[in-house]
Amino acid sequence: MKFKYTHSTVANSSVAKHSVENSTDDENLFKNAIGKVKPMVQDTVLPTKRIAKQKKVLAKDKDKKAVAEFYFSDEFEPDLNRQGPVKYVREGVDSFEAKNLRRGQYSPDLILDLHGLDQHQSKREIAALLAACQKEHAQCVCIVHGLGARILKNKVPHWLVQHPDVMAFHQAPLEWGGNGALLVLVELKDKFIR
């Protein structure tokens, strides 16, 4: 087999030879310009993982939610007033606070409407509301449980009595829901002057 060299084959080989010479020339020029180079030693410091931080934050939030829900037991039956409006005053708190709630001296900073929620969802929402009271510095909140089958109307006061931040509650005045709502006075851990 004989090979025929055409003009294009010769031209291509000369271009390839020229580019190889240029690249070696460029490398030599670069090495001469830089001088002696010492190779770097690998650092022993490892980069921190952000995923671990996120997991810690999520675990912390989960613990806070678990603590907030811990206070509400369905088996606990407090001795609340059966006749008349529902009211409660924690031991060590002046009973005058319940009267102030009844008279409408406190206006709610936050309002929670439980219409359409079941017992489990209501417990979670009340726990979130009481946690939000600390963040928002809300001293008085209104929980609208409605009348319906009277399940939430009976359960909500039983849950609130169990929470350590609840100082007092009373059936809301008509302007805030009357029989279907409670005004709750919350003790703020971080004292905030209004």
- In this predicted model, what pLDDT tens digit does every residue of 100-116 receive, in sequence order? 998 989 999 999 999 99
- Fold type of domain 50-186: Ribosomal Protein S8; Chain: A, domain 1 (3.30.1370)
Q: Which residue ranges make up each domain of the chain?
A: 50-186
Instruction: Calculate mean pLDDT across residues 105-132.
Output: 92
Distance from C-alpha of 132 to C-alpha of 186, rounded to nearest angstrom? 11
pTM over 0.85? The answer is no
Could you tell me the two tokens for 167? 């100082």
